[in-house]
C-alpha cells in the first residue's frame, strides 16, 4: 500500500514552473541558515507566518534534496503516504472499506494537484487523516482507544500537526478535541491522558506555545490575501475541488479569468462526474442509515460541521476568498463517507453493482489524470516569463515586470537592473517601456491604471503564457 502511494505520488509530480505561493516558499527554503530563513519569513510579514511548521519542514527538505521544482514538490510524498496509511488504519478491520478508501485517495484529483505544489496542503491532509482516523477508531471502539497509549499518541500527533501546519486548521483540531470530549466524557478522557503524563504535558505546552505564536502573528498584522470574497459559489467550488471532480472541468486560470461561466463548456463531463459522485453518496447514505445513532451525529457535528462553519465564517468576515485548499482538513471525512458507498457497491454480488463501482472509480481516475496531464491545468509560467525578461534586458530594452517578485527571483530575474521596473508609479512622468510582462491584473493592477496606460500607448500582446501576457508597443505607421 505504501509503495503504491509512493508511485502515485511520484506520477503526480510535474516540473512545471513554480507559481506565486510556491516561489515565495522556495526562496525561504533556499536560505542557507535557519536565522536567514526566519528573517525572510518575518520581513515578509504576511500569512506565511501562519504556515510555520510546513515552511520549516520545506527548509530542511531543501537542504537534503535541493531546490528544483521536482525536488521541492517531492516533499509532499511522505505526507501523501502518511495520509493513505492513516485512513486505511482508521477504517480497519473491514478490508473492503479499507480498499475503497485507499482507491479513492489514490485517484483524488485534488490530491494529485497539490502533490505537485510545494505548499502545505498535503501536510494538512496527512495530519487531518491521522486525526480523522483516530476519531473513526474512537467511534467504533471508544474503550479500546482510551486504554491504548498508541491511539493517544497518534491523536496528539495529528492535533499538533494540524495546528503547527496552518492557522486555518486550528478549528479542525479544536473540533476533534471537542468530539473526543463529547464521545468519551471529560473524566474518562482525563484518565486516558493521565496514563501518558509526559506526553500530555508536552501536548499542552506545545499547543499553548502555538496559540501564543499565532496570537503574535495576528498582532503583527499577518493576514491572508484580501483578493476576492467568499460567497455561496465558493462553497460549491470547495466541494467541487475536494470531491475530485475538478479535473473534468476547466483549468483554474480560465476560471479565474472568465468566472463560473467557463464551466458551461464542460457540462457533459461534469455531469458524468456528478452522477458518479451521486451514486457514491446515495450508496453511502443507504449503508450508514442503519448504523448512525444520535450520538454519532453529534460527535461528527463537533468534528466536521462546526469547524467547517467556523472556517467559512472566517472567510466571509475576513474578506478572504476560500477555495478547496483552505478546507483540506474536511477531505478525509469526505473520502471516508464516499468509501462507505464504494465498499457497499463492491460487496454486492451482482455484476451491475460492481460495474457501477468500477465505473465511478474510472471517472475519478480520469479526473486525476486530466489534472496531471491536461494542458489547461498548467500553472503560472514564471519560468518562461523570466526568460523573456532576461533576454529583453540583455538586449538593452526597458522592461516592466507586473508579477510576483519572489518567484521572479527564483527564476533569476535581475531586479537590480536599472532597465527593469516593478509595478511602475503612473501618478507622474514615466519612461515608456519596450516590453511589459503582465500577470493577473486583479492582483498587480487592481485599479486598471497600467492597463489604461498600455492601451493608450498602443501596446498589444505579442505572446501569451499561462497567467501572463507579454506586451510590446505597436510600431507607429
pTM assigned to the model: 0.93
Query: What average pLDDT does range 358-375 have in this prediction?
Result: 93
Query: Given a cut of 70, is residue 225 above it in pLDDT?
Result: no
Mean pLDDT of the chain: 91
The CA distance from 167 to 53, in Å, is 10
| 447 to 20, 46, 253, 450: CA distances (angstroms) | 20, 22, 20, 8
Predicted confidence (pLDDT) per residue in 58-104, tens digit = 999 999 999 999 999 999 999 999 999 999 999 988 889 999 999 99
Query: Given a cut of 60, is residue 476 above it in pLDDT?
Result: no
Predicted confidence (pLDDT) per residue in 256-301, tens digit = 777 777 788 888 889 999 999 999 999 999 888 877 788 888 999 9
Per domain, the residue ranges of the chain are 2-377, 382-473
3-class SS letters over 121-183:
HHHHHHHHHHHHHHHHHHHHCHHHHHHCHHHHHHHHHHHHHHHHHCHHHHHHHHHHHHHHHHH
Query: Given a cut of 80, is residue 400 above it in pLDDT?
Result: yes
Query: Given a cut of 70, is residue 319 above it in pLDDT?
Result: yes
pLDDT for the residue 227? 61
CA neighbor of 130 nearest in space, from 103, 100, 99, 165: 165
Predicted confidence (pLDDT) per residue in 134-163, tens digit = 999 998 888 888 888 999 999 999 999 999
> Cell match 472566517: residue?
314
pLDDT for the residue 9? 95
pLDDT for the residue 144? 85
Q: How confident is the model at residue 175 (pLDDT cuts 50, 70, 90)?
A: very high
Amino acid at each position: 500500500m505504501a509503495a503504491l502511494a509512493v508511485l502515485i505520488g511520484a506520477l503526480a509530480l510535474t516540473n512545471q514552473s513554480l507559481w506565486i505561493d510556491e516561489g515565495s516558499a522556495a526562496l525561504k527554503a533556499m536560505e542557507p541558515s535557519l536565522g536567514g530563513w526566519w528573517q525572510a519569513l518575518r520581513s515578509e510579514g504576511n500569512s506565511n507566518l501562519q504556515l510555520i511548521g510546513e515552511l520549516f519542514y520545506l527548509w530542511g527538505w531543501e537542504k537534503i534534496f535541493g531546490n528544483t521544482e521536482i525536488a521541492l514538490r517531492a516533499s509532499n510524498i511522505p505526507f501523501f503516504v502518511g495520509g493513505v496509511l492513516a485512513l486505511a488504519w482508521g477504517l480497519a478491520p473491514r478490508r473492503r472499506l479499507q480498499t475503497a478508501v485507499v482507491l479513492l485517495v489514490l485517484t483524488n484529483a485534488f490530491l494529485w494537484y497539490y502533490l505537485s505544489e510545494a505548499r502545505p496542503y498535503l501536510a494538512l491532509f496527512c495530519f487531518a487523516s491521522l486525526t480523522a482516523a483516530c476519531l473513526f477508531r474512537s467511534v467504533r471502539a471508544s474503550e479500546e482507544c482510551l486504554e491504548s497509549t498508541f491511539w493517544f499518541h497518534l491523536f496528539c500527533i495529528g492535533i499538533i500537526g494540524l495546528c503547527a501546519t496552518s492557522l486555518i486548521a486550528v478549528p479542525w483540531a479544536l473540533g476533534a478535541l471537542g468530539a473526543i470530549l463529547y464521545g468519551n466524557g471529560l473524566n474518562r478522557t482525563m484518565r486516558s491522558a493521565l496514563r501518558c503524563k509526559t506526553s500530555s504535558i508536552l501536548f499542552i505546552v506545545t499547543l499553548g506555545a502555538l496559540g501564543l505564536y499565532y496570537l503574535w502573528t495576528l498582532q503583527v498584522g499577518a493576514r491572508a490575501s484580501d483578493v476576492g470574497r467568499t460567497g455561496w459559489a465558493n462553497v460549491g467550488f470547495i466541494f467541487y475541488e475536494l470531491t475530485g471532480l475538478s479535473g473534468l472541468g476547466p483549468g483554474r486560470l480560465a476560471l479565474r479569468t472568465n468566472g463560473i461561466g467557463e464551466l458551461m463548456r464542460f457540462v457533459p463531463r461534469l455531469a458524468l462526474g456528478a452522477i458518479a459522485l451521486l451514486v457514491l453518496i446515495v450508496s453511502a447514505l443507504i449503508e450508514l442509515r442503519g448504523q448512525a445513532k444520535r450520538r454519532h451525529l453529534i460527535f461528527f457535528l463537533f468534528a466536521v460541521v462546526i469547524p467547517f462553519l467556523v472556517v467559512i465564517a472566517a472567510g466571509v468576515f475576513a474578506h478572504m476568498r476560500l477555495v478547496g485548499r483552505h478546507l483540506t482538513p474536511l477531505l478525509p471525512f469526505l473520502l471516508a463517507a464516499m468509501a462507505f458507498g464504494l465498499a457497499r457497491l463492491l460487496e454486492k454480488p451482482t455484476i451491475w453493482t460492481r460495474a457501477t463501482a468500477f465505473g465511478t472509480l474510472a471517472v475519478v481516475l480520469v479526473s486525476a489524470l486530466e489534472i496531471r496531464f491536461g494542458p489547461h491545468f498548467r500553472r503560472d509560467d514564471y519560468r518562461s516569463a523570466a526568460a523573456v525578461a532576461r533576454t529583453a534586458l540583455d538586449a538593452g530594452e526597458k522592461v516592466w515586470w507586473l508579477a510576483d517578485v519572489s518567484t521572479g527571483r527564483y527564476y533569476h530575474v535581475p531586479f537590480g537592473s536599472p532597465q527593469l521596473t516593478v509595478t511602475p508609479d503612473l501618478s507622474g512622468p514615466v519612461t515608456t517601456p519596450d516590453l511589459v510582462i503582465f500577470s493577473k491584473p486583479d492582483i498587480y493592477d487592481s485599479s486598471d491604471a497600467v492597463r489604461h496606460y498600455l492601451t493608450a500607448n498602443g501596446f498589444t500582446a505579442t505572446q501569451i503564457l499561462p497567467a501572463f501576457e507579454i506586451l510590446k508597443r505597436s510600431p507607429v505607421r
